Structures are given as C-alpha cells and as structure tokens.
Amino acid sequence: MKPNPIVITAIEVYQAPIKLKKPFVISLGPLTHAGNIYVVISTNIGLTGFGECSPFMTINGESMETGFVVAQYLAKKLIGMNPLEIEKCTVAMDSVIFGNSSIKSAFDMALYDIAAQNSGVPLYRFLGGKNNKTIQTDYTVSLGDKKTMAEDAVQIKNRGFQFIKVKVGESKEKDIERIRLIRESIGPEIPLRLDANQGWNTNDAVEILNAVADCNIQLCEEPIPRWNFMELPEIREKSPIPIMADESCCDHHDAQRLIDLEACELFNIKLGKSAGIFTAIKIIELAEMAGINIQIGGFLESRLGFTASAHLALTSKNIVYFDFDTPLMLIDDPVIGGIQYLENGKIQIPETPGLGASIEPDFLKTLKKVAIKN
C-alpha cells in the first residue's frame, strides 16, 4: 500500500512585538520595536515547521497587524496541502492575494523547515549548499548626528566587528561629514558599507560617493528611490563605489530587469522582500549567471528568521556579504537553537535537520495568536 501523503493539519500565527534595546533610525524613519510574526505549521506525521517575518511598512507595505490578517487567508488555503510541494504551496498563496511578500516569507520558511526535516538534513544541505565558508556579519550604525554615529562606530569596532554598516540618506553635506568623521574615528582598516535607504537623488548620490571614495567604502545600498531604478546605471557608471540594489530588487523579475539595465554590481536579498526562499533561489541563479555578487540581509527578525537567511547564505559562492546584526539589537531572544554569534561577528549555523531553530513555548503563550485547523 502507498503511504498516506504528508499534509498540513494546523497553522498557528503569532504577533510578536519585540522592543529594541535602543531606537534604530534609517532615512525612512525611526523604529523602537520589531513588529514580527511567527508562523508554526503542523503536519499529520508529527513534523512542525517554524517561520518568521518582520513586516516593514515603509518598504514592503505591510505591518504586524496586516500580516496577521493576511496570514489567516493564507493558512486557510494551505490547510490540507502537502508541505513538501513548496512550489504548489507558493502558487496557492499567490492565488489568494497579490504581494504581501513579508507574511508569505514566514510561511515559506516554515515549509522549507518541514521539507528539510523530512529529508533528515540541515536546511542548507536540503537547498544544495555546503557549510564551507565563514559567515561574518557587519554591525549597523543608526542614523543620527555625526558625533553620536562616530561614537557608535567606535563601540562597534571595540566589540570586535570587522565590518561596519552606516545608515545615511539625509542630506549631501551631513552624510559626507558623517562618513568622514566615522572613518577618522575608527581608523582606516575596517571597511564601511553605506546604506542610503533610497534617501538621495541621483546628482547627490554621485557627488557623495565620489567625495568619500577615499574612505575605504565597500559598497552603497539603494542610493535613490526604488521607483527611479532607471537612473541606477548612471550612478553606477559615475560612482567609484559599487552599487547594491536593495529595495529595487525584491524578486527575480526585478533582478532580471536590473541585470538587463546593467544597473548595479550587487544584489541584497532579504526573505521578507522575495516572499521567501523559493523566489530568493531564483534571484541567486540569475545573479550567478550575470556574475553579480550578493548580500543576504533582513529586516528586524529574531534569530529564527536570520537562521533561515544563514542557511541560504551557504548555497552560492556569489553570496559574499552578510548583514545579520539585528537580532543583537532586540531586548528579547526567544529562540531555541538557531544561529549563534561568535567572536568578531562570526556566525555558527546549526547542523540539526531542518531550520534548527524554534520559539520557546512559554514565550509563544504570551503572544496574540490565531489557529487555523482542519
């Protein structure tokens, strides 16, 4: 007799507002909490998958509250489906509602967790990856006055981080002053990574990047508004610093468009933008063919979400930059297992089957919850 297929029997969705240790400020505004969502998918054979997203209102147009509502529509569609048929589950979610990439990424993550557990291997191996590279995260200097930013950069250096990310995007004059003071304060060795979060116009972007070309800058993320991507090729041509597409590169269609335009040297993949691992893999494949290197980043997920990102980071030699610092900014750490932070920002990935991370049951009991069952 043919064994009964594995099916999804229950899905629990939790709102998880987690306070930050201190406000995190970018050009799109300040943040005091991570408004996250946990998704727990149960099956008829006892396997349970965990997923997480961190909706970002100013980037993907979702919030913890809207994600919580949309999750219920998605859960009702997925109940009874085979979680190992990830493509079918992805198509099913897309048939329910357009967009909503953040909440879809939490479901995608939980599905991949189940699939890798069912295969008895860590997620990176299920995805065809190898644990053969050092993953070392940067740490981010929040946007503020130049003196405070420089002091924060010095603290980050003293904590042992080897790469420092700097939030900019306010104004040409102030950003140049910020970058130069940070470089002066930390010395010449540690590379800086700039992230303008769409804060500049084209002319200012070119002027700023040329003005700080001597400051050991590795890259600049999303210098101009995402809708203005047609001007990225001009910035790339005139900039001495490599340009990384972030908000303008959400899925594989965006990636192909940017490749065709020769708009940037680098992609930043975040599961909350790509709706999860399924589409992220498509972006990676395009990047490999085009010779484009990749950063894996995220929003304000806990170690659960970044564990999935770390597994993904082991799947391609083109993934060379890692932006995994935000779990270190959260007051609470409710994750069991998951990635571990070692010295100098190095990341250790679990070798247990599946994602290798879950959420403490007692913490889940404190959260607002909805459960969808057969």
Q: Catalytic residue at 152?
A: no
Q: Which of 157, 165, 270, 273 is catalytic?
A: 270
Q: Which helix (H) or strand (E) covers residue 179, if one does? A: helix 172-186
Q: Which of 113, 195, 254, 301 is catalytic?
A: 195
Q: What is the rounded CA–CA span in Å between residue 111 and residue 127?
A: 13
Query: What are the C-alpha distances in Å from 9 to residues 21, 115, 233?
Result: 37, 15, 48
Instruction: Please work out, in degrees rounded to the nearest 5, the angle formed at the alpha carbon of residue 255 by the alpha carbons of 252 and 257.
Output: 110
Side chain identity at 102, as an amino acid letter? S
Q: Catalytic residue at 231?
A: no
Q: What is the rounded CA–CA span in Å between residue 267 and residue 226?
A: 13
Q: Catalytic residue at 373?
A: no
193 in Cβ contact with 137 (< 8 Å): no
Residue spans of alpha helices (H) in 187-276 = 202-211, 232-238, 252-261, 271-274
Using CB atoms within 10 Å of the CB of residue 291, give its burial: 0 to 12 exposed, 13 to 18 middle, 19+ buried. Answer: exposed
**Strands 335-337 and 357-359, bridge-based pairing:** antiparallel
Phi, psi of 153 (to 5 degrees): -65, -40
Q: Which of 138, 246, 254, 325 is catalytic?
A: 246
What single string gives the DSSP state of each residue in 149-179? HHHHHHHHHHTT-S-EEEE--S-HHHHHHHH
Q: Catalytic residue at 167?
A: yes
Q: What is the rounded CA–CA span in Å between residue 180 and residue 145?
A: 13
Reading phi first (left if > 0) and then psi (alpha if -120 to 50, else beta), residue 249 is in beta
Q: Which of 138, 152, 175, 221 is catalytic?
A: 221
Reading phi first (left if > 0) and then psi (alpha if -120 to 50, else beta), residue 177 is in alpha
Q: Catalytic residue at 221?
A: yes
323 in Cβ contact with 303 (< 8 Å): no
Helices and strands counted in the chain (H then E): 14, 16
Active site residues: 167, 195, 221, 246, 270
